[in-house]
Amino acid sequence: MILLAFLQIVHQPAHAPPPDFAKRAHTYSIVAYDSVTGDLGIAVQSKFPNVGGLVPWAKAGVGAVATQSLSNTDYGEKGLELIARGATAPEAMRIIMRSDTRASQRQVGMVDAHGNSASWTGDSTFDWAGGRTGGRTGERTGGQTGGKGQLIVGHEYAAQANIMVSEATVRNMAETFERSRGSLADRLIAALVAGQAGGGDKRGMQSAALLVVRAGAGYLGTTDRYIDIRVYDAPDPIKELQRLYALHKLYFFTTDSADLVPITPALQKELEAILLVEPANQPQKWLAAPQPSLNETFLAALANFMYWENYDVRVRMDGKIDRVVLDDIRKNRRRK
């Protein structure tokens, strides 16, 4: 009965769905390239748990892929490998499709580090289903819009969706991405928000993810995973993704020089009030006594406190403090 009601809601014929229906990543996504920073990324939302573990693939300096509907990891793994060996995103897509016996059930978005993009929607995906690619930088047109059974190509981004309320989801994602400003991650999230405003998945919301890669931009420069956030299951996964992104920027983005403020005597006194009583429930505090000046003892205590609070990438020993960290320190202690 539940299955029959579901089919009626999404206006599908009253015959039984394919056996693998429940395994399909029905979703909407956008893959994109930033020519200024070289960033590559994907934003995705679905009425499907842990979409971040299935759909997004990316490699710095190579490309980004979203593989959904009946997700096929070949488009991620082999697609990136082909691009790394010299294929464009559209070429890599076509090569994998030739050996994919179930291409009609796939939906894939792909972009490479030269800005070439492609989007495929199989003719066995569920309505509404389709995609859109961007035009060349500076062009108002030049990309393509396509429905089921179409592979479209373009530049800079590829947006795609299936089981949507209408084509407004893809249209909103594309138009918002094109006109938005800021970092690639900011633009991808803005596109995701706009996609949901266009109706989104007919069945509702459940999970979301944001993946952005940049060479050497991961934690302490050890990986290329600049941003990797996954919302496994939430009533409003996009709102939760935005909250987690704000936390990620705080804890993993390095200091902007414009945010540096000097530690004045008044600010030192304010910070000492914390260092003299924390860590809570620990016999030894960060600072044993107030310091007469901005000396090594105070700075070392402040650094240890910041490491304890997970501000690792924003720790300094030059008599200045990151305004973003200072605001967070004050906010957290106002709550107590």
Q: What is the pLDDT of residues 218-260, one digit of tens each?
A: 887 889 999 999 999 999 999 999 999 999 999 999 999 999 9
305 and 297 in contact (C-beta within 8 Å)? no
Q: Could you tell me where the DSSP H helices lie in 62-137? A: 73-84, 89-98
Distance CA 263, CA 322 (A): 10
- pLDDT tens, position by position, 43-65: 999 988 999 999 999 999 999 99
Q: Which pTM value belongs to this model?
A: 0.86
Share of the chain above pLDDT 70, in %: 89
Q: What is the structure's pLDDT at 202?
A: 64
Whether 321 has a pLDDT exceeding 90, the answer reads: yes
- pLDDT tens, position by position, 259-314: 999 999 999 999 999 999 999 989 999 999 999 999 999 999 999 999 999 999 99
> Is the bond preceding residue 279 a cis peptide, omega within 30 degrees?
yes
Q: What is the structure's pLDDT at 53?
A: 92
48 and 26 in contact (C-beta within 8 Å)? yes
> What SS3 state is found at 127?
coil
